[in-house]
Structure 1
């Protein structure tokens, strides 16, 4: 009986050991599989970093990228506002048209413009007589052949008319009116609004009969030959930026074609919200298809020799 109990206990012990060994082997296999999976994941991640590097994503640390827009420098962007109001009489160009400096974009009608021309013509007609009369009275007064009162009155009339002539001439000049043409050609019925520079007409919202008040913008004229980039940089990038740096950029909607620009100015104000700062680069060899407001992506490249 004791032998039977001994062999039973021995068999149970062996069975338990066998089971424990299987579990241990299973645990070892699972660990091996986990390690293999981790190694595969690490290799995949490494491969992914290589791919990202080929696409440019990992270049951010070494060569920061900058987003921005194409813009017109303020010297080449003119907003036409009116120094005298009036109703639109005629329109010579459509939005997007190219105009030469001095070409008439539209004309306005305003009776005050006619009155101003008449004032100048009247003053110009009288000024010569009053000047000669003042000179005559001055000469007579010097020889005591006329009173000082007459001479002073003549002087006052002459200077008053000269002031009126100069003031009306200055107003006409602001309105783009040449007084020489006024003398030779007579009164112009309509006020001509001319292009202040050569470029493309944009932001035009006019139609026949529409009334514009003084100071109201009529349209813009932009010269695209001097396009620039307005890029957004951050404080961490400033140490690596200086005037004269070269950039490569591409324009949204124009594929992967690269263009060049040169940094010409760095703004001095930092945006308090996102800690960004504006930098400006002059576009080299701009295309006719470039338009202000187009989104661009740029990166700094080594300076050209």
Structure 2
């Protein structure tokens, strides 16, 4: 019986040692999952870099979107003062025009009738003026009746008003009253460019009829473009004039551009609960076109916090990590993968939020992706 107890004791002792060996093995595997060892040759070959966290200023952002636009004075919708048929035009969308350049020639017999009416009242005006002055003299001398004087005055004032009205209409049609007074009557009227710019819309063709309500073409001057952004009501109290804007045109470029808040709207869109924010570009760019959609960030405030270069922080399976240096020996470097909370990213640096890290810790700041993977 004594031998049996000794045998059982030996068996239990062996089982206990086996469990201890398993625990040690499991512990080693766990450390192996979090620690990464890099030899000196690997470190030098891959040009890896180690540095500490540094305090940097990060802006607080309001995300918004909008479009590139131009001021109202840089956009002209060209219409006709009176209807007519298109006699001549040689413009296409994209053509550049100068202010005062001939755009379209319209033709209409009504132009002829207007010039005839003007010439008729012009020729009567001298006679009516003389008749008015004569009756005024006779009335002052009590020779003519007041009735005749008032009639002459009415005829002259009516003709003068009609003359002035027709003259203004001819000038709006770009028909010279002076030439009409010389007997030069034409059935054509010219339309000139009110601003310099490029043709963005062309709604006519030769021979087509243009009514006074029809937009003939549109001219846009891109010399000064700006941002028209839409900000939601929840963010509007954070936005102030003079704040910096960083924007991108996602469909055209990955580059970031700078602007500044110039005006903040004073009324809210009831349906969308948004407000308009007008931004001026920091540097005028000739390649921006009205109508381009933009994604923008308005910098409303700043905060100073610990950070690492953007490439030092890697995402893996929805979590963010950094590689902290835990040991440096002649044979290489040992890094520990530490989970963090990623904050804002700006200017190539990422805000690092963690209670377990200190300012004296060293981190791998270049080559992290190659060691951890994405």
Regarding TM over 0.5, the answer is yes
Runs of 4+ deviating beyond 6 Å = 32-39
Structure 1 unmatched ranges of 5 or more: 4-21, 40-58
Which residues of 2 match residues 177-256 of structure 1 at below 5 A?
177-183=175-181, 186-252=184-250, 253-256=252-255
Counterparts of 1:272 and 1:143 in 2: how far apart (Å)? 72
Could you tell me which of 152, 155, 173 is aligned with 2:153? 155
- Please list the CA deviations of residues 122-151 of structure 1 after superposition, one character each: whole Å capped at 9, or x if unmatched: 211211121012101211232234344433
- Please list the CA deviations of residues 5-39 of structure 1 after superposition, one character each: whole Å capped at 9, or x if unmatched: xxxxxxxxxxxxxxxxx9xx99xx99x99999999
Counterparts of 2:183 and 2:259 in 1: how far apart (Å)? 50
Could you tell me which of 103, 113, 121 is aligned with 1:105? 103
Partner of 1:171: 169
Counterparts of 1:160 and 1:211 in 2: how far apart (Å)? 34
1:168 offset after TM fit, Å? Answer: 1.1
Partner of 1:137: 135
Partner of 2:118: 120
Where 1:238 maps in the other structure, the secondary structure is helix
Partner of 1:75: 73
1:283 offset after TM fit, Å? Answer: 2.2
Gap change, CA 1:106 and 1:33, over 3 Å in 2: same
1:60 offset after TM fit, Å? Answer: 11
Q: Size of the alignment, in residue pairs?
A: 280
Gap change, CA 1:230 and 1:60, over 3 Å in 2: farther
Structure 2 unmatched ranges of 5 or more: 2-17, 36-56, 302-374
TM-score, length of structure 2 as denominator length: 0.62
RMSD of aligned C-alpha atoms?
A: 3.7
- Please list the CA deviations of residues 280-305 of structure 1 after superposition, one character each: whole Å capped at 9, or x if unmatched: 112233222211111222223589xx
Where 2:231 maps in the other structure, the secondary structure is strand
Gap change, CA 1:239 and 1:142, over 3 Å in 2: closer
Partner of 1:51: none
TM-score, length of structure 1 as denominator length: 0.74
Where 2:223 maps in the other structure, the secondary structure is helix
1:260 offset after TM fit, Å? Answer: 2.5
1:85 offset after TM fit, Å? Answer: 0.8
Counterparts of 1:101 and 1:73 in 2: how far apart (Å)? 17
Could you tell me which of 63, 87, 90 is aligned with 1:89? 87
Counterparts of 1:259 and 1:182 in 2: how far apart (Å)? 55
Where 2:111 maps in the other structure, the secondary structure is helix
1:81 offset after TM fit, Å? Answer: 2.2
More strand by share: 2
Where 1:226 maps in the other structure, the secondary structure is coil
- Please list the CA deviations of residues 67-98 of structure 1 after superposition, one character each: whole Å capped at 9, or x if unmatched: 22101122221112222111111114222112
Counterparts of 1:92 and 1:247 in 2: how far apart (Å)? 41
Counterparts of 2:230 and 2:34 in 1: how far apart (Å)? 40
1:178 offset after TM fit, Å? Answer: 4.2
Aligned 8 A contact 1:228 1:281 in 2: yes
Aligned 8 A contact 2:60 2:299 in 1: no
Gap change, CA 1:263 and 1:164, over 3 Å in 2: same
Where 1:63 maps in the other structure, the secondary structure is strand
Tell whether 2:73 aligns with 1:65: no
193-202 vs 272-281, which moves further: 272-281
1:185 offset after TM fit, Å? Answer: 7.6
